Chain A
Amino acid sequence: MTEPGIFSLLWVLIALPLAGAAILLFGGRRTDRWGPYLGVLTVCTSAVIGVLMLLGLMALPAEERSITQTVYSWIAVGSLQVDFALQLDQLSMVFVLLITIVGALIHIYSLGYMAHDPDRRKFFGYLNLFVAAMLLLVLANNYLLLYVGWEGVGLASYLLIGFWQYKPSAAAAAKKAFIINRVGDVGLSLAIMLIFVTFGSVTFGEVFGQVGEASEGTLTAIGLLLLLAAAGKSAQFPLQAWLLDAMEGPTPVSALIHAATMVTAGVYLIVRSHVIFDAAVWAATAVVVVGLITIFMGAIIGSAKDDIKKSLAGSTMSQIGYMVFAAGLGPIGYIFAIFHLLTHGVFKAGLFLGAGSVMHGMNDDVNMRRYGTLKGLMVITFVTFMAGYLAIIGIPPFAGFWSKDEIIHAAFERNALIGVATILAAGITGFYMTRMIAMTFFGKARWEEGVHPHESPKVMTIPLIILAIGSTLLGMALLFWGNIESWLEPVTGFASEPTPFPTWVYIVVTLIVVIIGAIIGWVMYARRPVPIEAPRGSWLTRAARKDLYGDAVNDALVVRPSFALSKALTIFDARGVDGFVNGLAGSVGAISGRLRRTQTGFARSYALSMVGGALLVALALVLVQS
C-alpha cells in the first residue's frame, strides 16, 4: 500500500541526517560553533519520526504493515527499471529505531566526548552521513539502492576510523577496513548482477516472488555471494581482520558503527534475503559455519586483548557471529538473529560508551592493565557498564539473556552439537567479560603516574544511563510487551522444531556454563593481582593477541602474492614491453646513424650512385625482358 499519514515522511527520515551532513561538511568553519548541535538535532528528529512511524505501523493490521514510497524513477534502461523507492516493514522498522535512537544517544554522548577536538564539526558531519547511509541501507526496497547505502556506510566508516588521520595507525586502519570491505562489496555487486540476470529485477518483492523458478545452483551461488558481502561488512571469518584495527577511531564511532549498527548490516542482508537462503540449503549451511567459526574466534581474541576497546571488538565479532549463525539456521533463527541484533546493539553501544567514559577519565589510556578499582570513582560508568556486562553474558532478566538463550535453543532445534558449541561460546563470553570488568573496576589501582580518574560529564553519563536501562529491560520488553516473534514473522517467517529436553534445561545449563566462565575470570583477574606487564601466556593467548594470525594469513595469502605479482609485472613491463619498444627504436636509431655516413656532401659520389642505380635498373629491365 502507499503512504498514508506519517509514512509520507519516509524520505525525510534519510534526508534530515543527509542535509545535516551536507551543511556540516560543505559549510566549513562557519558552522563550527553550532554545527555539532545541528548534527544532534537532525538525528534526534529522525528518531522522533521513527517512533511516530512505529506507532503508525502498530495501528495497522499485521498484513498491511509494509509501506512503499517511490521517491523517483532512478534508473530506467531497457529491462532494468530501478526506482529510488523506500520500503518500511516490520524488519526495517526495528532497524530504523535502533539506528536513530542509539544513533541519537551516541550523538549526544559525542558532544561531551569530542568537546575538545578541533575538528568536531567534521566528526558530526561524518556521523550524520553514516546515519543517512545506514537508514538508506535498511529502507531500500531493492538491492541496488541497498548497495548505495552499503557503500555509503563503508565510506562513513572509513572516514570515521581515520578521523584522527594524523596518527599513522588510524590512517592504516581506515585503509585496511576499506579494502577488506571492498572484497565483500565485490561479492554483493556480483550477487546483484546474478540476481538481475536470473530474475530480471532487483526489487525485493519481485525477486523473492520468483525464487521458486530459479535453479538451486543459481540460488546457492547468490547465497554464497551474499554471505561474502555479509562477512565483509560484519567482520565475519574470513574477512574479520579489519574490525579490531577499526578501534583506532574515536570511541563513539566504535559504539555506533563497529558495534551497534553498521557491522550488523550483514545480518540484515541475510535476513532480508532469507527467501533465497531458505531455498539454498548449502548456502545456509555455509552461513552457519562462518557464524560458528567467528563466534569462537571473536571470543578467543576478546579473552586475550589488554586493550579494552579491542577486547570489546572481539566480543562484537563473537556476538555478530551468533547473529549470523542464527540467520543461517533458517526460519527457526531469523527472528532471534534480529532480536539479538537489537539487544546487542543497545548493550554493546552502552559497553563501548562506558569504555569511552573510562578512557575519558584515564587520559585516553586503553590498556586495562593500567586500570583497576575504578568502581568507586566512576559510579555511574561502573553501574551502567555492569548492566551491559550482565546483559552480554546473559544473566536473567537482562536483555542479552533472552536473545542469546533463544539462539542457543534454536541451535539445539537443529543439531545438538552446534548447540553445545554455542553454550561453550557463551561460557567464554562470561570469562572475557568478567576479565574486563575485573581488570577495569576491581582489583588494585595500577594507574600511570599523573592519572586522576574522574566521572564523565552529564552529557556522557545520561546516554549511558539510558542505554543501561535498555540493556536491562529491552529483552523483556521486546519479548513480552513488543511480541517480537509475531511482529517479525510476516517478514521473516517463523518455525519451531521440537527439542529432546524442555526449554528450562537449556537455560539452566547455559547459565551454569556462563557462571563457571565468569568465576574462572573472576579468580584469575580479580582475586589474583594483575601484572602491569602482560605475561607471556599460553600459545593460544599469544595467538589471540595477534588476532589469531588473521593479518599473517591475509599477508601470506593475499598481500605478498599481490606484491610479488606486481613486482613481476613491473619487471615484465620494464624489461619485456619497454625492452622491445626501446630496443626497436634504438636499433632504428643506430642503423640510421650508420646510413647517415653515406651523405658525404661530394656531388660526384651522388652522381656515381645515380649512375650505378640507373645501370642496375637497366640491367634488370634487360634481364627481365630477355
Chain B
Amino acid sequence: MNPANYVVLAAILFSLGAIGVLVRRNAIIVFMSVELMLNAANLAFVAFARMNGNLDGQVVAFFVMVVAAAEVVVGLAIIVTIFRTRKSASVDEPNLLKY
C-alpha cells in the first residue's frame, strides 16, 4: 500500500481536529480534538519514517504520546477545576483574561 495515503489520512484527521477545536464550545470535546490533531501528527511522523526508511519519526511518535499523556493529566485537571467553579465546561465563558 502506498504510504502517501497515510499522509493524506493524517492531513484529514488533523483538519478534522482543527475544525473541532475551532467550532466546539465544550472543553472536553475541544480537548479530544486536540488529541486528534496530535495523533494525526503522530501518524504523519510514522508514515514519513516508513517512507524515508529511518526510525527517527517512530521515536518522535513515542515522545509525542508520552507528552500527550502528561498533557491530558494537566488539561483534564484544569477542566475539572473550571467545571467545579463555574458549573460549565464551555471554553467561551472564561474570558476574563482580556484587554
Which residues of A pack against B, CB within 8 Å? 596-597, 599-604, 607-608, 611
Which residues of B pack against A, CB within 8 Å? 18, 21-22, 25, 91-92, 94-99
Chain A binding surface, main DSSP class? helix
Inter-chain contact A603/B91, CB cutoff 8 Å:
yes
Residue of A nearest to B91 (CB): A603
- Please give the distance in Å from A619's CB to the nearest CB on chain B: 14
- Please give the distance in Å from B29's CB to the nearest CB on chain A: 12
- Please give the distance in Å from A622's CB to the nearest CB on chain B: 13
Can you give 12 contacting A-B residue pairs, CB < 8 Å? A599-B98, A600-B95, A600-B98, A600-B99, A601-B96, A601-B97, A602-B92, A603-B95, A604-B21, A607-B21, A607-B22, A611-B18
Quick one: which of A601, A607, A608, A611 contacts B98, CB cutoff 8 A?
A601
Q: Which of A596, A597, A600, A607: most chain B CB closer than 10 A?
A: A607
Give A602 to B98 CA distance when docked, in angstroms.
8
Collect the chain B residues with CB atoms within 8 Å of residue A611's CB. Answer: 18, 21-22
Inter-chain contact B92/A597, CB cutoff 8 Å:
no
Inter-chain contact A608/B99, CB cutoff 8 Å:
no
Quick one: which of A596, A602, A607 contacts B95, CB cutoff 8 A?
A602
Quick one: which of A599, A600, A601, A608 contacts B22, CB cutoff 8 A?
A608
Given contacts A603-B91, A604-B92, contact A597 B22 (CB under 8 A): no
Collect the chain B residues with CB atoms within 8 Å of residue A603's CB. Answer: 91-92, 94-95
Collect the chain A residues with CB atoms within 8 Å of residue B96's CB. Answer: 601
Total contacts A-B at CB 8 Å: 29
Give A342 to B91 CA distance when docked, in angstroms.
103
- Please give the distance in Å from B43's CB to the nearest CB on chain A: 18
Give A599 to B99 CA distance when docked, in angstroms.
6
Collect the chain B residues with CB atoms within 8 Å of residue A599's CB. Answer: 98-99
Inter-chain contact B22/A604, CB cutoff 8 Å:
yes
Collect the chain A residues with CB atoms within 8 Å of residue B22's CB. Answer: 604, 607-608, 611
- Please give the distance in Å from B92's CB to the nearest CB on chain A: 6
Collect the chain B residues with CB atoms within 8 Å of residue A607's CB. Answer: 21-22
Give A596 to B99 CA distance when docked, in angstroms.
6
Collect the chain B residues with CB atoms within 8 Å of residue A596's CB. Answer: 99
- Please give the distance in Å from A616's CB to the nearest CB on chain B: 14
- Please give the distance in Å from B83's CB to the nearest CB on chain A: 15
* 4 extra interface residue pairs, beta carbon distance < 8 Å, beyond A603-B92, A603-B94: A600-B95, A601-B95, A601-B96, A603-B91
Residue of A nearest to B24 (CB): A604
Residue of A nearest to B92 (CB): A602
- Please give the distance in Å from A442's CB to the nearest CB on chain B: 94
- Please give the distance in Å from B41's CB to the nearest CB on chain A: 12
Residue of A nearest to B95 (CB): A601
Give A601 to B95 CA distance when docked, in angstroms.
4
Closest 4 CB pairs of A and B: A601-B98, A601-B95, A596-B99, A599-B99
Residue of B nearest to A595 (CB): B99
Collect the chain B residues with CB atoms within 8 Å of residue A600's CB. Answer: 95, 98-99
Give A597 to B25 CA distance when docked, in angstroms.
22
- Please give the distance in Å from A1's CB to the nearest CB on chain B: 90
Give A514 to B42 CA distance when docked, in angstroms.
121
Collect the chain A residues with CB atoms within 8 Å of residue B95's CB. Answer: 600-603
Residue of A nearest to B33 (CB): A607
Q: Which of B22, B94, B96, B97: most chain A CB closer than 10 A?
A: B22
Give A300 to B29 CA distance when docked, in angstroms.
107
Collect the chain A residues with CB atoms within 8 Å of residue B94's CB. Answer: 603
Give A607 to B22 CA distance when docked, in angstroms.
7
Give A340 to B94 CA distance when docked, in angstroms.
100
Residue of A nearest to B15 (CB): A611
Give A231 to B99 CA distance when docked, in angstroms.
71
Give A600 to B94 CA distance when docked, in angstroms.
11
Residue of B nearest to A603 (CB): B91
Give A603 to B25 CA distance when docked, in angstroms.
10
Collect the chain B residues with CB atoms within 8 Å of residue A602's CB. Answer: 92, 95
- Please give the distance in Å from A614's CB to the nearest CB on chain B: 9
- Please give the distance in Å from A589's CB to the nearest CB on chain B: 14
- Please give the distance in Å from A615's CB to the nearest CB on chain B: 9
Give A596 to B98 CA distance when docked, in angstroms.
9
Collect the chain A residues with CB atoms within 8 Å of residue B98's CB. Answer: 599-601
Collect the chain A residues with CB atoms within 8 Å of residue B21's CB. Answer: 604, 607, 611
Residue of B nearest to A614 (CB): B18
Give A599 to B95 CA distance when docked, in angstroms.
10
- Please give the distance in Å from B79's CB to the nearest CB on chain A: 12
- Please give the distance in Å from B8's CB to the nearest CB on chain A: 15
Collect the chain A residues with CB atoms within 8 Å of residue B25's CB. Answer: 604
Give A607 to B18 CA distance when docked, in angstroms.
9
Residue of A nearest to B27 (CB): A603
Residue of A nearest to B96 (CB): A601
Give A579 to B20 CA distance when docked, in angstroms.
51
- Please give the distance in Å from A354's CB to the nearest CB on chain B: 86
- Please give the distance in Å from B6's CB to the nearest CB on chain A: 19
Collect the chain B residues with CB atoms within 8 Å of residue A601's CB. Answer: 95-99
Give A570 to B99 CA distance when docked, in angstroms.
40
Residue of B nearest to A615 (CB): B18
- Please give the distance in Å from A9's CB to the nearest CB on chain B: 85
Collect the chain B residues with CB atoms within 8 Å of residue A604's CB. Answer: 21-22, 25, 91-92
- Please give the distance in Å from A520's CB to the nearest CB on chain B: 92
Give A607 to B95 CA distance when docked, in angstroms.
14
Collect the chain A residues with CB atoms within 8 Å of residue B99's CB. Answer: 596-597, 599-601
Residue of A nearest to B97 (CB): A601
- Please give the distance in Å from B96's CB to the nearest CB on chain A: 6
Residue of B nearest to A598 (CB): B99
- Please give the distance in Å from A590's CB to the nearest CB on chain B: 15
Give A626 to B24 CA distance when docked, in angstroms.
35
Collect the chain A residues with CB atoms within 8 Å of residue B97's CB. Answer: 601
Collect the chain B residues with CB atoms within 8 Å of residue A608's CB. Answer: 22
Give A604 to B95 CA distance when docked, in angstroms.
10
Residue of A nearest to B18 (CB): A611
